[in-house]
Amino acid sequence: MRIGYGYDVHRLAEGEDLWLGGILIPHTKGAVGHSDADVLIHVICDALLGAADLRDIGFHFPDTDPKYKGIDSKKLLSEVMNKIRTQGYELGNVDVTVVAEKPKINPHITEMKACLSEVMGVEANQVSIKATTSERLGFVGLEDGISAHAVALILKS
Ligand code: MG
C-alpha cells in the first residue's frame, strides 16, 4: 500500500473555459494552461504518480510539447492510470480538495465523480471530491487563481 500527494494551481482569466473534474463549468472566468488546465484532474494525476514513484505530470506530459497543447486532461488521467496499472497497482481511493472562491463547486461534484471514476475505471466512491474557499484571502480569494490538493492510496493488485 502506498500513498501519494498532488498540488496544483492555475491562473483564472476571462475568455477561457473552466474545465474542472472533467466537466465544463459555466463561469465568467476560466483556467489558463497549456492543456485544458483542469486543476482537479492534474492533482489526481500527481497524487497517483507520486504514490507509484513515477515522478510528476510535467515530467510525463511537458508543457513545452505541442502534442499536449489544449489536450483534454481526461486523456492524461487515463494514461496515468495505465502507468500505475503497468507497475502492478490498483487505486484504493483518491481524495481531492479544490480551493476556489467562485464558482460554487458543490453542485457539480456528483457529475465530476461519475465522469472521473469512468475515466479511471473505478467506482465513484473511490473518488472523493471536496471544495472550500480561501475566505477571500490570497490569490484564490481574489479570484486570480484556483488551486487543488489530492491524496491517493494505491494497492498492489
Ligand atoms: Mg496543472
Spacing, Cα 149 to ligand 1 middle (Å): 11
Residue 156 CA, ligand 1 centroid: distance in Å:
27
C-alpha cell at 100: 476556489
Ligand 1 center–CA 17 separation, angstroms: 14
In DSSP terms, 4 is beta-bridged to 152
Beta strand spans in 82-144 (E): 89-99, 127-132
pLDDT, tens only, 80-98: 999 999 999 999 999 999 9
Report, in this order, helix, strand and coil percent for the chain, each rounded to 5: 35, 30, 30
Whether 150 contacts 5, CB under 8 Å = yes
Strands 145-156 and 127-132: unpaired
Ligand 1 centroid to Cα of residue 12, in Å, is 12
Question: With pLDDT > 70 as the criterion, what percentage of the chain qualifies?
Answer: 100
Q: What's the CA-to-centroid distance between 39 and ligand 1, angstroms?
A: 5
SS3 115: helix
Class of domain 2-156: alpha beta
Going from the Cα of 1 to the center of ligand 1, the distance in angstroms, rounded, reads 26
Set of cell numbers at residue 71 = 489536450
User: Beta-strand (E) ranges in the chain?
Assistant: 2-14, 19-20, 23-24, 29-32, 89-99, 127-132, 145-156
pTM: 0.97
Residue 101 makes CB contacts below 8 A (sequence gap 6+) with 133, 134, 136, 140, 141, 142, 143
Q: What is the pLDDT of residues 100-148, one digit of tens each?
A: 999 999 999 999 999 999 999 999 999 999 999 999 999 999 999 999 9
